[in-house]
Amino acid sequence: MDKSLVNSITIWAAALCTLAIYSVLYKENKFYRFFEHIFIGLYGGYGVYITWHEILYPKWWQPMVGGQWWWIFAAVIGSMFYFMYSSKHAWISRVIFGLFMGFAAGGTFREFYETYWPQMASSMKPIAGTVPNIINVVVFYVILLAAMSYFFFSFEHKSVAIKSTAAAGRWFLMIGFGAMFGATVMGRMTLFIGRLNFLLNQWVPEVQSDIQYPWFQITSLIALLVLIAVGIFYIIRNRRYAKRAKEET
């Protein structure tokens, strides 16, 4: 199969999948459910292939058969994960999970230092310099301290001072959440724009170039007829169910 044919089939497959998933926006249906399972299957199979091909084969299998026999221990330790499925010895999986969780938890001292020391350092802003800078620094401190005071739980917010700073803190938090709201909308819309861009600028040209092939015209005609027939069948069936449901109630 030459390059352009593979490319055409890929674009048609992608368009079919895109429309199948978007059909869920109309109504949850079998078509969407079927393609969802295909995705889980493909993603799972691909994961096994890529992990073997790019990690386990070059970094474990080849060195082991090349002479470093001790790498077999990695397989033994790795197998401990799967004791999760044995009823009697499930606890052995907790040993390897515990090792990995401990491993991650042990990094907390370095992570706290490298992440929050520079944050504390850059929070030490001198209240000096040009007027706009002073305004910015004062705004920074008011918001930082008020927002932090909102998250104190071990003493009662009795005195008016604390109660009002905590209340102001919740107000200032709204500015931060507003920024996150705007950024999230921009991100999510970009993803849909990406799909629409594919449909309009890759699939539509593909359809236009395929339209002149006679075999394409025939198959698309047949596909259209099948789709209409299935649509009518479902509408009738649903109406019959609705009528029967009305009779029962």
Partner 1 sequence: MHSLNYIPLALASGRYSSLILLAYILGALVIGIAFLAGLMATPPRYRKIVVMLVTFAGGLYFSLEFLLPHNPIYIGKYMIPGSRGVANLANGLTAAKPSVADWAMIIGSFALLLGVSNLFQIHGKAVRKKTPGWYNSLAFFITFFLIMIVGFLKDYKLGFLGSHNAAAFQAGSGNLYNILFNGFVQSLDATMFSLIAFYIVSAAYRAFRVKSAEAALMMGTAGVIMLGLVPVGAWLTNWLPHTGFFASMRLEQITYWLLIWPNMAVQRAIDFGLGIGALAMSLRIWLSLERGSFFDRQL
Partner 2 sequence: MGTMSEFANPAVYVVEGLLVFFILWKILSARRGRQLFIRRIPGLSVLDEAVGRATEMGRPMLYAPGLSGLDIVGLQSMAIMSHVIKHAANYSTRVIVPLADPVLYTVAEEVAKDAYTTQGVPEQFMAEDIRYLTSQQFAWASGVVGILHREKVATAFYFGYYYAEALILAENGQMVGAIQVAGTPAITQIPFFLAACDYTIIGDEYYAASAYLSREPTLLGSLVGQDYGKLLIIGLVLLGVGLVTLKVIEPHVPLLHGFNTFAYNLFLKYFPRT
Partner 3 sequence: MNLLFKLQSIDRRILYVLIAVVLAVPLLKRPSKHPDNVFPEVRNAYNVIDSVPKGKIVLLSCSWGAGTKAENEPQLDALMRHMFQKHIKFVVFSWDAAGSEITYQSAKRIQDDMHAKYGVDWAHLGYKTGATNAIISGMGENFQKVMGQDRFGVKLSKLPAVSFVKNYKQIGAVVDITSVSLMGYWISYLTTPKNIPLIYCPTAVMSAGAYQYLDSGQLRGMLNGVMGAVQYETLIGRGHARTDAAATSWALSAAHIFIILLIVLGNLGYLAAKRAGIHTGGPRVG
Q: Which of 29, 33, 223, 225 binds partner 1 (CB under 8 A)?
A: 33
Question: Which of the stretches 3-11, 86-94, 103-111, 157-165 binds partner 3 when contact is defined by CB under 8 A?
Answer: 103-111
* Contact (Cβ atoms closer than 8 angstroms) between residue 199 and residue 15: yes
Q: Which of 89, 163, 237, 239 binds partner 1 (CB under 8 A)?
A: 89
C-beta closer to partner 1: residue 179 or 228: 179
Which one of partner 3, partner 2, partner 1, none is in contact with 197 (Cβ closer than 5 to 8 A by kind)? partner 3
Which one of partner 3, partner 2, partner 1, none is in contact with 200 (Cβ closer than 5 to 8 A by kind)? partner 3
- What does the block give as tokens for 57? 């084969």
Other CB atoms within 10 Å distance of the CB of residue 108:
9
Task: Give the separation between CA 64 and CA 174, rounded to whole angstroms.
Answer: 56
Which one of partner 2, partner 3, partner 1, none is in contact with 205 (Cβ closer than 5 to 8 A by kind)? none
Residue 179 interacts with partner 3 (CB under 8 A)?
A: yes
C-beta closer to partner 3: residue 89 or 195: 195
Residue 84 interacts with partner 1 (CB under 8 A)?
A: yes
Q: Which of 65, 193, 211, 235 binds partner 3 (CB under 8 A)?
A: 193
Task: Give the separation between CA 114 and CA 108, rounded to whole angstroms.
Answer: 10
Q: Which residue has the tokens 């990695």?
A: 74
Other CB atoms within 10 Å distance of the CB of residue 141:
13
Residue 126 interacts with partner 1 (CB under 8 A)?
A: no
- What does the block give as tokens for 35? 């393609």
Q: Which of 4, 154, 177, 208 binds partner 1 (CB under 8 A)?
A: 177
* Contact (Cβ atoms closer than 8 angstroms) between residue 169 and residue 147: yes
Task: Give the separation between CA 145 and CA 139, rounded to whole angstroms.
Answer: 10
State the nearest-atom distance from the C-beta of 119 to partner 1, in Å: 6
Task: Give the separation between CA 128 and CA 144, rounded to whole angstroms.
Answer: 18
- What does the block give as tokens for 96? 């390897």
Chain-centroid distance of CA 10 in Å reads 23
Interaction site with partner 3 (CB under 8 A): 25-26, 43, 46-47, 50-51, 54-55, 57-59, 100, 103-104, 107, 110-111, 114-115, 118-119, 121-122, 176, 179-180, 182-197, 200-201
